[in-house]
A and B are shown apart, each in its own frame.
Chain A
Amino acid sequence: MKRTALILAAAGVLAVVVQRTFTLDDHPIRSLTHPDPAIAALFERFQERSPFRGKIFVEVGALSAAERGALEVRLRDAGYREEPLFQPPPPEQVLELAPLLPAENLRRLLGDEAIRARAEEAISVAALPGGDGYLAALQADPAGLGPALLARLTPGRPAPGGGKLRVYRSPTPLDYGRVEGVHDALLALGDRVHFIGADFFAVENYRAVKRDMLLCSALTLVLNLAIFFLFTGRWALLGLLFLGTAVSYLTGLLAIRAFYAEVFAVVLAYTSTFVGFNNEALVHLAGIEEKSRRRSLLGIWSAIGTTVIGFVVLLFGRSVMVRQMALASLGGTAGFLLFLLAYRGVLRRIRFRALEWPKATVSPGVIAVGCAACTAGIAILGLPRVETRIEEFRFQTPALGEQVAHFSKALDALALENVVAVPVTGPPGDTLAGLGARGLVEPGRHPLALWRSISEQEESLDLLREEYPRAASRLRGLLNGAGIRIETASPLTMRPLDEWEFLDRLGELGPIRWAARVGAQRFVFAGLRPGAAAPAGSALIAMSPRHHYDALLTSLSQDLGWLFLAGLAGMALYLGFLQRSLARVLYVFAPLFPSALVFAACARVTGGSLNIVHVMGFSLVIALALDYTAVAVSSDHGPVELSKVLLTGLSTLATFGVLVLARHPVMRDLGVTVAVGSGVSLLFALFVRLPARLEGGR
């Protein structure tokens, strides 16, 4: 009793530490960084100006004025601040960019009629409260070159005045409750409003993870209670399992905290599966009979060793989410084993019911043939592609899916859906022309098409030098007559802009950057034609988040696949050393072959691919499910040890099986993968055995 009270107190302290030091992050994607620092820097430079970073977009064209007003109040109350999508050039840049206006435009803007109209407009607006803001802008740009430049340089921008597309800066930190309110209000307006922004995905994922944690934890608890009570009739074992799982949950989180300041919400949801690992350690360490102690310990060390190896290899992965899951698992396992140390005596006294059922005895040769047949089957079906798309990594409701489709179509129409970075050595125009000739981009739709040749700019400059001071002076005179005095700058520093300068300046006006330099290399950004893809092995680098992250996640999945194979090799060596028998090692690994065949068949039938979560799931399968065969073959399929395997197997199936009900695709895919792998392994361990002379570590 005293011991339990002490552990409860320690768990309470750990809980306080976790609660005080943990920060939740809902963007497992955003944490991904490209392994090539140059590409990572380039992507970051492009994303700095991303219209989607820290903002939401709302299309309100179909709403009534009253609905728009109500929505605006709601957004403001939630902390959103409206801002212009395109910023007019700051005053100091207006004159720098002025040579980009054709001479005929400048002639009109600087003409007497335009200046008189501008003076009338100024006198009218100045009469309003706050009219001095307008006069300050007029003083900086007396001829209205800024709006004219904006109109010329951003031809695809939404029509002004209609207010159809509104941009709002997101509040930081995000208040989920308030954002949920905005999200629900937008959804209630139906298809008359369109909206997009990372905030909505964050809220949906937060809701999904919260629901998954509650539902899956509750179901896991109920199912495990039922299974354990059915097998042992002892509440003590259940008490140890759940108290120990609470401890392991806390030590798992602290293991993450030792390396990361923020934990992903989806990793938190994943910790609801700890009861699946812990039940194995608990059951196999409990009720060890003296007469079969050596065999039992062989099984236990085989099981614990493979579990640890399975998680350790995941630490070498590059995905932070996967590493956090591995850290949580290792920390949790360590915490649970330490917890059990305090209850050694209780564990010794527990006894399990011995259950008997018929088993098929097969020779190692037959098992080898079965494995070979499965391998041949996989070869016939074809190895599934290892590929991860961003959609498989996050929860997305059909409503959000519709919004993504709507805005993707709009971006596609602007040739911005798939932007790539193109390394350039000469003038960027030549590079774009080359890509255009290959059918990859449409140079005529690239902003560089708006650049004017040096001689054309010189013509505009000549006009500006002559007409601008005269126009500014005339405006000052007209305003003076109405009692308004402004001082205007003289355009002395104007010069033509080359292509790179033009692209740099343009990137400062709008929400998209068009050029960047990383080290000595210059890049131009260009949208691929709709339907076009960067040729494999080309120097084009995906910059649009979806394409960038798809490529990155696929690369991470492939890395993890190799780590999984390395883990298997490590386990084979470990088991070979421990078991001293090739036949027994083959028996332990045999269930993986039919499992792999099932996945290959599913991928073939559904046309799907294996994603990073499936690979993570495979690692869990080798960490968890191989324990069944390892224990069974080590204990000579002894009835007590096999009963324990049945108990832990059912418990693991229940724990991961309930994840099929999860909303978050990461949890669901993980559940399906581990349930299939564990199911096959459990059936194999329970009903197939080697001849007695080959089992039991003899």
Chain B
Amino acid sequence: MLALLLAAALVAPPAAPLTRDELRARYAGIRSLSADVLQVKEGRFWARPLESQIRLRYTPDRIVWESLSPVRTSVVIEGDHLTVSGAGGQARELSALASDPRVAALLSFIRSLITVDLAAIERDFDVTYGVGELVATPRALSEVKLFERVRIGFDARHELAELELETASERTRLTFLRIVRDPPPPALPAPAAR
């Protein structure tokens, strides 16, 4: 059995790098998305790598970034507004923070990452497409220079599988465990047709 699998792998055509057009077609027109995510953060401000369970909900007007564990918190990004709720459950709007263009650019970038909005990502980053992933590095005039490198990993169905973001003092890795999209992703074309 093992030999058969090995033989199958050896005769399979080599995986082709992702293309911009494929991804654009796959992620165009997302009306809503929700995902369960495992997030690991490590860096200067973290005493030890922090592993947290995240539930993400996206619509074009609103993003809810909810940490379920180890501490229950949520951040709601709605247009120019940023609202946070802590473990106590009391919501607070961070208007001064959200009105800072650098923070606004960061929130907008998070929005484009979640929906794999390539046009928006490419405005600030140089993007290279590899096998099952794309890597983005900030352009000279990027408004989100905070990130030194961003990697988006996709599974075999080109579904968002992993996000890695590096800043000067922190590395964040998001592993997407379950994604529900509206509309659902289009079926991948058969290899011969691609």
Contacts and interface: CB of A to CB of B under 8 A. Distances in A.
Contacts of A131: 41, 170
Interface residues of B, number: 57
A430 interface: no
Chain B binding surface, main DSSP class: mixed
Given A81-B141, A128-B65, A132-B43, A121 B84 contact: yes
A486 B44 CA distance: 9
A480 interface: yes
Contacts of A120: 73, 84, 86-88, 90, 92
Contact of B45 (A82, A147, A166, A484): A484
A160 B81 CA distance: 10
Interface size class of A (residues with CB under 8 A): 35 or more
B77 to A, nearest CB: 9
Interface stretch (B1-9, B26-34, B97-105): B97-105
B41 to A, nearest CB: 8
A133 B148 CA distance: 13
A82 B87 contact: no
A591 B135 CA distance: 78
Contact of A124 (B50, B79, B86, B172): B86
Contacts of B87: 120, 123
Contacts of B47: 480, 483-485
Contacts, number: 127
A163 interface: yes
Interface in A121-139: 121, 123-136, 139
Contacts of A234: none
Contacts of A83: 101
A132 B45 contact: yes
A161 B84 contact: no
A160 B98 CA distance: 8
A9 interface: no
Contacts of B50: 483
B67 A127 contact: yes
B99 A160 contact: yes
B126 interface: no
A124 B88 CA distance: 11
A108 interface: no
A162 interface: yes
B94 interface: yes
Contacts of A163: 80, 99, 104
B106 to A, nearest CB: 5
19 contacts: A73-B123, A84-B100, A84-B102, A120-B88, A123-B86, A127-B41, A127-B54, A127-B67, A127-B75, A128-B75, A128-B110, A132-B167, A134-B97, A162-B80, A166-B101, A482-B71, A484-B45, A484-B47, A485-B46
Interface of A: 65, 73, 76, 79, 81-84, 117, 119-121, 123-136, 139, 147, 150-151, 160-163, 166, 480, 482-486
Interface of B: 39, 41, 43-48, 50, 52, 54, 61, 65, 67, 70-71, 73-75, 79-81, 84-88, 90, 92-102, 104-106, 110, 113, 123, 141, 143-144, 146-147, 163, 165, 167, 169-170, 172, 174
